[in-house]
A and B are shown apart, each in its own frame.
Chain A
Amino acid sequence: MIQLENIIFLIVAALGIGLFVWQIRKIRKNILIGRDVDRSDNPSERINKTLLVAFGQQKMFKRMLPAVLHLFVYVGFLVINIEVLEIMIDGIFGTHRVLGFMGPFYDGLMAVNEILAALVIVACAIFLWRRNVTKVPRLATGVEMRAWPKMDANVILITEIVLMFALFAFNIADLKLAALNNHTLPGTFPVSSSFVDIFGSDAGTLANIAGVGWWIHIIGILAFMNYLPSSKHFHIIMAFPNVYFSKLWPKGKFTTNPAITHEIKAMLDPSYQPPAPEMDAEGNPIVQRFGVKDVEDLTWKQLMDSYTCTECGRCTSVCPANITGKLLSPRKIVMDTRDRLEEKGEHPAIFAPNHYKEMGVERVQTTDEKALLRGYITPEELWACTTCNACVESCPVNIDQLSTIMDLRRYLVLEESAAPASLNAMFTNIENNGAPWAFPASDRFNWAEDLYMPSKN
C-alpha cells in the first residue's frame, strides 16, 4: 500500500526532524558555553519537583484563569501527540487509523482528543484576546516586549488554532466518508460528529479535505517544531530539564565563591596552601572573572534559564522595583541573556537580537560594548534589585533571575569597583567598624546598659 504520497511524507518528516535536531544541537552548544555547576545531587527530590512544578503545573495555579486555560493547551498538547504518533505511522506505512485496533481505548482517546482540541481553540482565542485587546499589562508592557516577542506570541497562538482546525477538518471529512461508504470509523468524535455535514457529501471533495487537513496538521507540526528554537514557546521542552536542575536549597542562600575563600585564608594565615588552580589545555592557569560580565561567565543553568523563559512577565509583575517604576525587569534580564548568548554563540533560524540603543529605547542606557553587562543590561537595573526573591518565587518554570542579577552585581563590585558611592561607604564601615553604619565597634554592647525588668517577686 506504500505509494508516492508515503514516500513524500517520509522525506518531509525526515527533513523536519533533521532540521530540528540540528537546531537543538546549536542550543545545546550555546548552553554549554556556561561555567560548570553540579546539579546532579538528590535525584529523587529533583524528580518530585519536576513532577509537581513542570508536569503538575503547580506554580501556574497562583493565578487561576490563565492556569486553567494553560492547562487545556498543555494537556491538549500531551494527549494530541498520541494522535500525531498515529498520523506519523499512517503517513509512513499508508495505513489508516492504525491505532484503531485498541477498540474502546481508542474511542476514549479520540473523544478526549476532540474535546481537548476544542478547548485548545477556546483557550488560545482567550489568550489572543488578553494579549491584543484587553492588553494584560504583564503581557503587553515593558521595554523588553519589543516587536518580535509580541509577534512570536501571536504566531504561536494562531498556529495552534490552525492546527486544531486542521485536525477537525480531517476528522469531519474522514467521518463523513466512512458514513458514505457504510463502514464504521474506529473512534468516537463528539465534536466532529456534530459538524459531520458541513463539507457536503461529495466523496472526492471529502477525500481532498481529509487529505489537506491531514497534511496541514502534519506539516504544521513539523514547521512548529522547527519554529520552537527561535521562540519563547521552546519552554514546552525546556521547562522539564530546567525544573529538574533548579536549586533545591533555600532561596536565601546565595552562591559562595571558593576562589575568594582561598585568597582570604591565605591572607589571614601565610602558611595556608590554597589548592593548585585549574589549568587549561596549554597548561596555563585558568583565571576566572569574579562575577559575570558576559554570557560565558554565567553557569549553564543560568543559560538554560534563558531558553526556558516563556516571557509571561509574572516575575516582572511582582518585582517591587518594577512595580514602583524602576527600570529593573527580571524578565528583561532573562531575555537579554538569551539574545546576547545567540548573538555571541549560535543563532536559531529566526534571530533578531534587541539592541535597545538602536531601537531608540532611551530609558535603557546601554553602550556599544559587546557584552551582556552594559551592552544589554545596565547598572541602573542591577542596583534597583532588593534581592527579595519575588521573581524566583513567581516563575512557573523555576528560573533563577536573581542569581544572574547578583552575579552581574558582583562583577561591578569585585572587578570594576563600580558600586554606588553610598554602598562603598557602607563597605568601608563594615571594614572599619564591623557594622554597615559609622558607629565605633566599642559601642556595640551599649544597648545593654540600664536594662530593667519587673522582678519576679
Chain B
Amino acid sequence: MSNLNINAIRADFPILHQQVNGHPLVYLDNAASSQKPRQVIDAISHYYLHDNANIHRGVHQLSQRATDLYDAARSKVRQFLNARSDKEIIFTRGATEAINLVAQSFVRPMLQAGDEILISHLEHHANIVPWQILCEQTGAKLKVIPMTDSGELELTNFDAMLTERTKILAIGHVSNALGTINPVKSMAAKAHAKNIPVLIDGAQAVPHMQVDVQDLDADFYVFSGHKMFAPTGIGALYGRESLLNAMPPYQGGGDMILSVSFDKTLYNELPYKFEAGTPHIAGVIGLGAAIDYMWQIGIDNIAAQEHHLLEIATRKIEALPGVKIVGTAAEKAAVLSFMIDGVHPHDVGTVFDQQGVAIRTGHHCAQPVMEFYDIPATARASFAFYNSEEEVDALISAIQKTQELFA
C-alpha cells in the first residue's frame, strides 16, 4: 500500500472526472499517454497569458521572463535525471526525435559498412526504425538481442553480441508492450567494458521510477514528456557532454549558431547547438511543471502506488479463467498486456470503452513482440499513480462482461 491520498491526487486531474458512455471514465491507457494535472495546465496557460515571447533574443521584459522559465525547466530536467550539467539536456519533440538525433549525429559519422547496431526484440518501433534507416544509409547491420517467453531479454549470449564492430547498444529501459524492466545498468557496464556507447530509451521508465543517468552510466538517455504528465510535442535527450560536444548539429537554423556568414557558420555551444529554431517553449515550461508535480507527490510514492496496482490487478486477472497475461517478467512496471480466450483484442477495446474503461488494443508499436508470441495484438491496461483500486475492479468487471458477451 502506498502513502498517497488518491482522492486528493485525482482532484488535480480534471479530465478524470467525466462520464464515458454512461460510466465514470477509468483511464488505463497511461503507457500511450498520461493525463495532465491542473498544475501543468496552469503553468502553460500562465505562460501564454502573461509571459509569452521568443527566448534568447529580445532585450525586452517578456523575452527575458520566457527565457528564464525555459532555462529553469532545463535545470529541472537535469536534476530529474541527475545529469552533471544543464548542457547535457537537449530539448526534443520527444523520445523518437532524440533517438533519431543520436542515430544521425552521433552514430552515423563513425559508421562503416558491416558495423553493427545492437538493439533488442522488446523495442518500440521508435528504437528500431531510426537504426534501420541508418543501416540503409551506411550498410551497417542491425543485430537483435532475443527475448524469452516471459518477456525478458535473453542475455545468455549478450557478451558475444557485443563485438568489435558494435557501434552502439540502444535499449529500452522498460518495455511499452509488456512492462518488462530491463537490466540496463549491468548491460551498459558490459558494453562499456568493450568501449561501446549506450543509449537508453526511457520513455516508459521516467513516469514510474527514479532515473539516475550517472548511476546507470548511460551515454544517452531519451524520454517523452507526454507520458509523464507533461504536454505532447516535448521531450528530452540526455547526452554525455564530451560526446555531445564532439557531435555535429542535427538540424541547422536559428538559435543554434554563434555567427553566420555565407563563408562560414560557427555553431553555438551546448545545449543550444542541438536546438535549432524557436523551440516548444510552452511545452518545456509544462515539462518543468510536470517534474515539480512528480517531486511534490514523491517519485518513490508514485512507484509504490503503481506497483501496488499492478500486483492486485495481476493477482485478480490470474484468478480469472480464460484470460492470459502476456509478459510475466519478474521485474515489471505498471503495464498489463492480456488476451481473453476467443475474443480479439480489438473487440475487447470496444466492449471496454462502452463501460468507460480506456485501454490500448493493438500491437503497441512493437510488432516484433507480437510476432514473437504469434498474436496480432494484445489488450493493454497501464496504470498511473492516480489510478485507484476501484479502477482495478472496473477493469476486472470489464473483462468479465466481455466474456459474457462473447460466451
Partners in one complex: no
Q: Which B residues form the contact surface with A (CB < 8 A)?
A: none
